[in-house]
Amino acid sequence: MDTTSSPMSLQTQKTNFQDLPEASPKPYKKGIVATLMGGAGSFKEDNYFVSLLRSSEKKALQELKEKLKSSFEDSPSDASMWGIPLLGGDDKADVILLKFLRARDFRIGDAHHMLLKCLSWRKEFGADTILEEDLGFNKELEGVVAYMQGYDKEGHPVCYNAYGVFKDKEMYERVFGDEEKLKKFLRWRVQVLERGIKVLHFKPGGVNSLIQVTDLKDMPKRELRVASNQILSLFQDNYPEMVARKIFINVPWYFSMLYSMFSPFLTQRTKSKFVISKEGNAAETLYKFMRPEDIPVQYGGLNRPSDLQNGPPKPVSEFRIKGGEKVNIQIEGIEAGATITWDIVVGGWDLEYSAEFVPNAEGSYTIAVEKPRKMGASEEAIHNSFTSKESGKMVLSVDNTASRRKKVAAYRYVVRKSSTI
């Protein structure tokens, strides 16, 4: 069996919108977060090269090392995190120490106090061995509530958070019904984060932080207030500068009011990491930072956890569909007996999709592989295959002529020749 890449072309057809009625977009309340909506975030990640630090920062780093050495004079091996000795004097230790210094604006005393508290917490909590624990949440919450999946375009591992499942009261009671259950959930949530940190480089110029994507759709605010506050407190106190960007998707209109309440308590550095995307714009926002093959299918990407069993995600082609436009993706050169397999998705679909096979031979009939159908806004990517009996081309069509909205889209395909002679 042979795998080939057949010639492909992309054709567009446009509709004149003068004859279409004016669109009536869903009203969206603007507020203090208006400038952050769909933005890319202004934060620029630090590179952790000591040689590029200001003289005052170099001095602060050296003084923190001396304070730490004094604190662990009798047990230097206790001063370690993620398997990295903090008194080792190497680049990895410098990366961690600089994270604590930056979290406290290079105030040496504050950074030292934070570091000692974190080391104490990790020992008491058992954070260094938590990845070995089976907390019993794997089947119910893994891949649903909080999970690591894929990377951004700069190589940062991505952690997704979605708490909408807890609007179900039975589910909420099973996970948060009493204090012991809440403690177990917090351990599991720390476990997910530690799993992501395990793949970080901890070296200057390397990947030293994560991307957090939080889906606010259907999230029960009042019920999760206690858990959310405890998670936030744990992460702020013990995982400084571990998040390069915080992307909020499916943000409801009232988020602007909530943001205005807690915004004064956030540093400008923290706020610069925020990217906020309103409901229905998840794919458009995530495509700015991640490749479609790394984005979960539920957010307009082509990444399914089961795909990883066959190795790294296969590359895809991205394109945009303008309002009033129809796009035909023509995959030519398909031989008789060959099987073509494809994936295609349009962010926030709400358009018509179809697939047909057009034989090369005159007089042959076009085969409707997938009849035209309206794709709902929340539908996941199409995955399908077709084995041709004669040579020809496959045409994948996405028809956005009834909409004024521009949409992001992606597809990939592979053609396998017949193994028979």
Provide the H-helix boundaries in 213-327.
Answer: 225-238, 255-262, 268-271, 282-286
| Average pLDDT estimate for 360-384 | 95
**Sorting pLDDT into bands at 50, 70 and 90, what band is 23?**
very low
Contacts of 362 (CB under 8 A, 6+ apart): none
pLDDT digits (tens, 9 = 90+) for 188-247: 999 999 999 999 999 999 999 999 999 999 888 776 777 888 888 899 899 999 999 999
pLDDT at 175 over 90: no
CB 249 within 8 A of CB 289: no
- Condensed to tens digits (0 to 9), the pLDDT of residues 127-171 reads 999 999 988 776 778 888 999 999 999 999 999 999 899 988 898
Angle CA 184–189–192, to nearest 5: 130
pLDDT at site 44: 73
pLDDT band (50, 70, 90) for residue 261: low
Q: Indicate the pTM of the whole model.
A: 0.87
pLDDT recorded at residue 384: 97
**Residues 108/62, Cβ–Cβ less than 8 Å:** no
So what's the pLDDT on residue 32?
43
Residue ranges and CATH numbers for the domains of the chain are 43-123 (1.10.8), 128-278 (3.40.525.10), 315-414 (2.60.120.680)
Q: Which of 57-61, 144-148, 180-184, 261-265 has the lowest mean pLDDT?
A: 261-265
| Nearest of 282, 278, 344, 288 to residue 317 by alpha carbon | 344
Instruction: Check residue 25 and give its pLDDT.
Output: 41
Closest CA to 11 of 332, 362, 237, 239: 332
Residue 308 pLDDT: 66
